[in-house]
């Protein structure tokens, strides 16, 4: 205890705060003890008649709630079963059936009321009107049989009364006339010009756009990719351009040539970190390795000095020798 007291130092304010907290804790403990030992609950007398009346009221409320709920559910179920599935299921009541009349009619001109008089259902009438509104024309009885909602019995009964004018049927007949020049014969067939073979290091956007499948967007991407590289040393590098799929590359490959001597080589000693990172084949780690060697040993004496960097693969250095020189 003496060791603890000697190694702890408390200011006057801190000692005062501790004493206050301890005193408050003791007061709370005493209050709790007092309530447990000395407190006695006060019992209030309740009349049994009041309890019985309260129970009766609660029971009546529950009965009214369940009866109302059953009434609402039965009402909704009636509405659900009485409600038609769709607007075409509304049929005339059996008590007052509409009379059915047979008369000659043209299905391409007759109105809704007349169709209902013939015995068409609402669904069949709406199907026919919808077909006519889209430009459809009934030319035969077989076409009428395909009308949705038209019963076979109704069609058999009305077949003798269907009136299809001969003029209307002739209007839609087609006869091939070999003497007249058709639009297809007058139209000149467009033949795409055969693209010319060109060097991908010297070609411009127009040369690339002459290739089938290469538009203005792809041609600009190829030119920008060539600028960032410094030039192409292989035709297969075109396939590295973003968006050009293998099928498209194989279709344009026969029209491409490459001359690696047209590559614009850069002095590696003049390159900084940002310019190296802009090259598509150099990432930040490789650019850091190249610059670290330069900062430690001075400018590169020969481009083959890149082989001394263990973090660079020989295949990568072979590619860099095509784009960089030491001057």
What is the DSSP-derived secondary structure letter of residue 312?
A: S
Exposure string for 245-262, b = 16+ CB within 10 A, e = fewer: eeebbeebeebbebeeee
Whether the CB-CB separation of 149 and 123 falls below 8 Å is answered with yes
Q: 218: helix, coil or strand?
A: helix
Q: Can you tell me the distance from the alpha carbon of 197 to that of 211, in angstroms, rounded to the nearest whole number?
A: 10
Q: Are 276 and 289 in contact (CB under 8 A)?
A: no
Cβ count near 222 (within 10 Å): 21
Name every residue whose Cβ is closer than 8 Å to that of residue 317 and which is 6 or more positions away in sequence: 306, 307
From first to last of the 327 residues of the chain, give the pLDDT tens digit: 555 555 566 677 888 888 999 999 999 888 877 776 665 655 555 555 665 665 666 666 666 666 665 556 655 655 555 555 554 444 444 445 567 878 888 888 888 888 888 888 898 889 888 888 888 888 888 888 888 888 888 888 888 888 876 654 444 444 444 444 554 444 555 566 788 899 999 999 999 999 999 999 999 999 999 999 999 999 999 999 999 999 999 999 999 999 999 999 999 999 999 999 999 999 999 999 999 999 999 999 999 999 989 889 999 999 999 999 998
> Within the chain, what is the greatest distance between any pair of CA atoms?
128
Domains of the chain, CATH where assigned? 85-169 (no CATH), 198-262 (1.10.150.320), 266-325 (1.10.150.280)
Task: Give this prediction's pTM.
Answer: 0.43
SS3 87: coil
């Amino acid at each position: 205890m003496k060791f603890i007291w000697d190694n702890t130092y408390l200011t006057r304010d801190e000692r005062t705060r501790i004493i206050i907290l301890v005193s408050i804790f003791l007061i709370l403990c005493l209050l709790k003890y007092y309530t447990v030992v000395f407190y006695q609950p006060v019992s209030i007398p309740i009349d049994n008649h009041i309890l019985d009346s309260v129970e009766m009221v609660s029971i009546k409320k529950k009965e009214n709630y369940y009866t109302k709920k059953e009434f609402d559910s039965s009402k909704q179920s009636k509405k659900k079963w009485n409600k038609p599935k769709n607007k075409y299921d509304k049929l005339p009541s059996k008590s007052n059936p509409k009379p059915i009349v047979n008369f000659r009619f043209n299905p391409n001109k007759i109105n809704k009321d007349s169709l209902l008089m013939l015995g068409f259902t609402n669904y069949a009438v709406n199907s026919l009107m919808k077909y006519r509104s889209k430009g459809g024309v009934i030319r035969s009885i077989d076409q009428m049989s395909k009308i949705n909602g038209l019963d076979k019995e109704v069609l058999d009964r009305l077949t003798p009364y269907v009136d299809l004018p001969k003029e209307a049927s002739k209007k839609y007949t087609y006869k091939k006339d070999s003497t007249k020049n058709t639009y297809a014969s007058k139209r000149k067939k467009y033949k795409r010009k055969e693209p010319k073979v060109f060097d991908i290091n010297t070609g411009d956007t127009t040369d690339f756009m002459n290739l089938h499948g290469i538009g203005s967007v792809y041609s600009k991407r190829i030119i920008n990719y060539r600028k960032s590289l410094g030039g192409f040393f292989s035709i297969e590098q075109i396939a590295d351009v973003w968006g050009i799929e293998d099928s498209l590359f194989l279709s344009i490959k026969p029209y491409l040539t490459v001359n690696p001597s047209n590559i614009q080589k850069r002095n590696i000693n003049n390159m900084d970190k940002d310019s190296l990172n802009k090259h598509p084949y150099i990432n930040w780690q490789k650019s850091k390795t190249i610059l670290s060697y330069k900062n430690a040993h001075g400018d590169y004496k020969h481009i083959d000095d890149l082989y001394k960097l263990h973090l660079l693969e020989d295949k990568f250095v072979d590619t860099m020798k095509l784009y960089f020189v030491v001057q």
